[in-house]
Amino acid sequence: MKKTELGKEKITKLLLIFSIPCVISMLINSIYNIVDQIFIGQGVGLLGNGATNVIFPLVLLFGAIAGLLGNGCAANISLRLGEGKREEASKSVGSTVTFSIIISIIVSMIIYIFLPQIINLFGCTPNVYKYALSYGKIIVCGAPALIIYTTLSSVIRADGSPQYSMFFLCIGAIINIILDYLFILIFKWGVEGGALATIIGQYISAILALLYLRKFKNFELKLKDYKINKSIFKVMLYGVSSFITQITVLVLFVFMNNVLTKYGALTKFGEDIPLSAYGIMSKVNTLLISSILGVSIGAQPIIGFNYGAGNKERVKEALKKIYFINIIIGIVFNLIYLIFPMQLVSIFGSGDNPLYIEFSIMLFRTFLMINFVNSFEMTTSIVIQSLGNAKKAAACTFIRQILLFIPLALLLSHYFGLKGILYAGPIADCLCFVIIIFIFLSEYKKLGTNDNTKETIEKINIQNKKGMVITINREYASGGRYVGKLLSKELDIPFYDKEIISLAAQESGFTKNYIEKNEQKKSTINGEYNSDDEIFVAESKIIKNIAKKSGVIVGRCADYVLKDNKNVYKIFFYSDMDNKIKRATKYYNIKKNEAFSMISKIDKQREKHYKYYTNRNWRNFANYDLAINVDTLGPKKTALMIKDIVKSKR
């Protein structure tokens, strides 16, 4: 998708384009684990479900690393593209790809070596141990693929190709489902078959993701970009929210495994049933989490680009729609959890065990009682990350999982046992919701309105002296801009120079800084004049809008843009070089020995810019109604003279 579309296309349409494929991609990612759980539950039973639950924190760890790099890189390149810094965006992507490959291999090797100790730490029971060890050894071998394709999935979406991200995830998921059926139900390979099916699908997805590296739309990745550079620190800063989100879920998962088995052993349910049931509930809940994060992460390029471009009104519009969608999704899932818990649990096998069914229903209806409010917390975390505030984004998740839930669970379990742990969930959700509202409002207020936009729009809407438009072209340091400002005061009509940049930024999606630096800086490629014409088109629209009212317009080929308009007075200001050098040194702080070359350079740029867009000669006075040497009368008398001429002509 072109950058101007992110800055101009309807927000609803952009959300459909970006978020729907992202939601599907996230759901497919969850299906990898859910499908294993279903087939293992049907083929192996309760202990098999327990094994996948024990290993699931490792999957969360791999996802956390991928979120740190992928979501961080996506946020970074969206902001950089919004600022027009394509080279920085490409370096960020290349560095992230290399770093993700290296770190994924190192992490998987370390975990494989210490896997027996890790699964005991994760709350594994004696009955589940051998299943968890067999399943985990194979899953860890797929870690590099999982980290690489998940990282690239976020980056590819930020480049404007969410459909491709969805495609390679779909292919991997379909292969996983087919192989799960064959390996578990036909070949009877048990948990090892489920793990093998998973990593085969993951490696195929990773290969397809890596093929995209030669297809980026917004920039070209070169070999030198793959060198790890300092941009990786900015990537990790932006991605730390996603990382902490996953790590806090991991910590919560490990904590729950241990306390559920500990307090479950003191009840009729025993230690294996709570372990297995919590795993199933968590896997089912990943469908809600994936949907919420899919909408929010899919919107990252929209939020990040428009925030980087200074289009704060579009950012606020996007936020309102994202929150509305995610809260509705949260409510729908919450109702399903409360109404159909038995049906959900039965999908994963062991439906003939009445104690298993009893605890699972209690778990869904108690622990997830008001789970829909988490949709607000998750959305806020990603949104704030998209706005570049990584610390606050990380805090959103940390507050609920670590600061609120774990202390509450420890306290309530001490007095109420197993039920106390379950009731800690909705209490923590409620408290977190109140806190997150204040965090969100503090960030939302900072958006305010687009810089200078209100003031500039108000100027355009001024009706006084309707129809009087004066365009000014001038040599650098000739005093022409100053004359124009004096003239606007004498005629009591608005003055437009830098003011046009603010409106052009809103129109084009570029930042004000980018437009200011590049509106007249053109490059030459193979002898042909080459430029991105979007700035000129945006400024032309603003100029035509001004012409419907009145104003003094400086530069930007306004005389040519308004060549067919009536009541437009075209003026060219010039001056001799000695006087231009004096003005340059006095008013622009240019050294006297550098003034000549600087003036000549800027005038040459203006001449080329004018020639490129008008096919006219900038200094051909026949193109103007007046061509005046400012030195003849001086700025003030020149402005008064033009005022008299314009009035007499009208």
> What tens digit of pLDDT does each residue of 530-539 get?
335 678 888 8
Tens of pLDDT along 335-357? Answer: 999 999 999 988 887 667 899 99
- In the DSSP assignment, the letter for residue 310 is T
Strands 523-525 and 528-530: antiparallel
Which residues on neighbouring strands pair with residue 469, listed in sequence order?
551, 568
Alpha-helical runs (H) found in 217-353 = 231-264, 272-298, 300-308, 312-339, 341-346
pLDDT value, residue 647: 78
Show the tokens assigned to 265. 């052993």
The tally of CA atoms less than 13 A away on the side-chain side of residue 222 is 6
Half-sphere exposure of 622 (CA within 13 A, CB side): 3
Copy the structure tokens of residue 279: 């795993």
The 568-574 sheet, strands edge to edge: 495-496, 551-554, 469-474, 568-574, 626-629
Point out which residues pair with 569 in neighbouring strands. 470
Q: What is the pLDDT of residues 139-198, one digit of tens each?
A: 999 999 999 999 999 899 888 888 898 899 889 989 999 999 999 999 999 999 999 999
Q: What is the mean pLDDT of residues 609-618?
A: 88
* Range of weakest confidence among 67-76, 279-288, 293-302, 368-377: 293-302
- Is residue 40 a contact partner of residue 52, using CB atoms and an 8 Å limit? yes
pLDDT the model gives residue 103: 96
- Residue 533 has a pLDDT of 64
Question: Counting runs of H as helices and runs of E as strands, what totals does the chain give?
Answer: 29, 7
For 553-579, the pLDDT digits (tens) are 999 899 998 988 888 999 999 999 999
* Predicted confidence band of residue 395 (pLDDT cuts 50, 70, 90): confident
Q: In angstroms, how far apart are the furthest CA atoms of the chain?
A: 102
Tokens 């839930």 locate to: 405
Give me the residues paired with residue 571 across strands: 472, 626
Q: What is the pLDDT of residues 278-328, one digit of tens each?
A: 988 988 998 998 899 889 878 877 887 777 666 788 888 999 999 999 999
What is the model's pLDDT at position 448? 67
- CA quadruple 71, 74, 79, 80: dihedral positive or negative? positive
- What single DSSP character describes residue 187? S
Residue with the bigger pLDDT between 424 and 521: it is 424
Q: What is the mean pLDDT of the chain?
A: 86
Measured from the Cβ of residue 484, the count of other Cβ atoms closer than 10 Å reads 25
The mean per-residue pLDDT over the stretch 119-146 comes to 95
- 101, 107, 113, 117: CA torsion to nearest 10: -160
Query: Would you say 203 and 146 are in contact if contact means Cβ atoms under 8 Å apart?
Result: no
Q: CA–CA separation, 123 vs 250, rounded Å?
A: 12
Q: CA-CA distance, 298 to 291, in Å (whole number)?
A: 10
Distance CA 639, CA 650 (A): 16
Looking at residue 135, its pLDDT comes to 95
> DSSP state, 347?
T
Residue 432 in contact with residue 531, Cβ under 8 Å? Answer: no
Q: What distance in Å separates the CA atoms of residue 554 and residue 264, rounded to the nearest whole number?
A: 77
* CA–CA separation, 570 and 559 (whole Å): 6
Segment 451-487, tens digit of pLDDT: 444 444 444 444 445 568 999 999 999 999 999 999 9
Is residue 376 a contact partner of residue 326, using CB atoms and an 8 Å limit? Answer: yes
Alpha carbon distance 267, 16 (integer Å): 48
Q: Which residue has the higher pLDDT, 273 or 21?
A: 273
At residue 268, the pLDDT reads 94
Residue 637: predicted pLDDT: 92
pLDDT at residue 388, rounded to an integer: 64
d(CA 512, CA 263): 60
Distance between CA 627 and CA 374 in Å, rounded?
Answer: 67
Would the CA dihedral through 434, 439, 440, 444 be positive or negative? positive
Q: Which domains does the chain have, with CATH numbers?
A: 3-447 (no CATH), 453-649 (3.40.50.300)
Write down the pLDDT at residue 359.
95
**Alpha carbon separation from 481 to 166, 413, 484, 499, 559 (Å, rounded):** 53, 75, 5, 13, 15
User: How far is CA 215 from each of CA 219, 231, 341, 543, rounded to the nearest angstrom?
Assistant: 9, 21, 45, 37
The burial of 13, by beta-carbon neighbours within 10 Å (0-12 exposed, 13-18 middle, 19 or more buried), is given as: exposed
76, 234 Cβ separation under 8 angstroms: yes
With vertex at residue 77, the alpha carbon angle to CA 533 and CA 522, rounded to the nearest 5 degrees, is: 25
Give the pairing of strands 469-474 and 568-574: parallel
pLDDT at 511 over 70: no
Give the pLDDT mean for 205-212: 95
What is the average per-residue pLDDT within 511-530? 56
Please give the structure tokens belonging to residue 309.
Answer: 């471009």
Contact 134, 192 (CB under 8 A): yes
Q: Is pTM, for the whole model, over 0.75? A: no
